[in-house]
Amino acid sequence: MMKSCFSDTGREPLSRPKFFLKTPQGPWTRVRASCWNDWHWQLRQRIASYEKLSGLMRLVPAEEEGIRTSGGRLAMSITPYFFNLIDPDNPACPIRRQVVPRTEETVETVSELSDPCGEDEHSPVPGVVHRYGDRVLLLVTDRCATYCRHCTRSRMVSGAGGRTLETDMDRALDYIRGHREIRDVLLSGGDPLVLSDGRLAFILNRLRAIKHVEFLRIGTRAPVVLPQRITPALCAMLRRFHPLWISVHVNHPRELTAESRTALERLADAGIPLGSQSVLLAGVNDDAETLRELFEKLLICRVRPYYLYQCDLARGTSHLRVSVRRGIGIMDAIRGHTSGYAVPTYVIDAPGGGGKIPVGPNYIVAHDRRRILIRNRSGKVYEYPEIDPLVPRLERAGCGGV
């Protein structure tokens, strides 16, 4: 099994990946490095069936039932690379919980929604989501290399939910071209990096031709589930479209292997600023120690922790959600105990399309016209004087009245 790429100091690789896959007969079969390092091979060899996964590791009953019923909600798909991060002997493995379906996915609570963020309501043309005035989401594919069980867009991603993404690229680009207030376009899906270099360049070229589009972003999980995708050719192509940013979905420090670190550094070396988006997940990262380790290792990989999401109210995800109260407590235990660069904003993407709303510990004890009382990480309270707008500026400065 591959280990995390960092030692206890967080700076040096512990091990290089071992190119092995387990066969149904039991022994480990070596895979040629030329195959393993080929992202096309990784996609072709994805583990996407009960027969294949059960031949690779022993499943518990909840997983067996979950896999058999997952076809009606969100397909299972795991790259060989990411599968090798799973502990096959531990059903509570945080990587395993993210990608192996469980029977709990068939349970739906009254608060869960098929479209938890209200994207369909804010879709003026197929494939475009326009919730914020100056930016849009452009859905370029409904496929991912590996499907996460907490997926917000499970209604359309993977094709298992009975609905397919129907982006009409010409209409989508016409819409963006016709709305001059749009200055920021985020490519998402699915995962845009499962597209070929040529297809991705075609889309980026057409967006760059729109003069009022100043800023391009790509949301992806590829650097951690398919780091082989981050080739020198891809990076050379992407750097042609600056300013271009990439948001990387990373949930657990074990995902930051030697290969993923190399992939992220390759993107950074191409001049692409990197931010992370993580989801707070029960049994995966719902404690301060795990998240602090994740955020600190992201900085070492030259990725700025950006958002920590409260898990969206997607159907069948209640077993992965953590209470907001607990999330606030975790953030309180992190802030002040690590670099400020390692502390993301904890947000709820408000159900129904309200957008991202920051939530977090309350450091303000009291606030009036004279002062604000604030507490620090140790619970000590400090006073800071407030500016009273009714007091003339010269008098406040001790210079007397006019």
Under DSSP, is residue 103 helix (H, G, I), strand (E, B) or coil? helix
Of 5, 93, 117, 144, catalytic? 144
- Determine the Cα–Cα distance for residues 232 and 366; give it in Å rounded to an integer: 54
DSSP bridge partners of 349: 356
- Determine the Cα–Cα distance for residues 388 and 380; give it in Å rounded to an integer: 25
Of 22, 208, 266, 356, catalytic? 356
Under DSSP, is residue 127 helix (H, G, I), strand (E, B) or coil? coil
Phi-psi region of 379 (alpha: psi -120 to 50; beta: other; left: phi over 0): left
Under DSSP, is residue 275 helix (H, G, I), strand (E, B) or coil? strand
Closest by CA to 106, choosing from 147, 144, 65, is 65
If you write DSSP's letter for every residue of 23-82 in order, what string do you get? -TTSSEEE--HHHHT-HHHHHHT-B-SHHHHHTTSPPPHHHHHHHHHGGGT----B-HHH
Does the active-site annotation cover 153? yes
Of 35, 132, 206, 306, catalytic? 132
Of 46, 102, 131, 292, catalytic? 131
Of 115, 142, 191, 349, catalytic? 349
Of 46, 102, 153, 221, catalytic? 153
Of 5, 151, 301, 311, catalytic? 151
Give the tokens for residue 214.
Answer: 């100043």
DSSP bridge partners of 30: 20
Does the active-site annotation cover 356? yes
Does the active-site annotation cover 349? yes
The single residue listed with the structure tokens 């975790």 is: 330
Does the active-site annotation cover 211? no
Does the active-site annotation cover 18? no
Does the active-site annotation cover 307? no
Of 81, 286, 312, 315, catalytic? 312
Does the active-site annotation cover 297? no
- Determine the Cα–Cα distance for residues 57 and 89; give it in Å rounded to an integer: 8
Of 148, 286, 335, 346, catalytic? 148
Does the active-site annotation cover 151? yes
Q: Which residues are catalytic?
A: 131-132, 135, 144, 148, 151, 153, 312, 349, 356
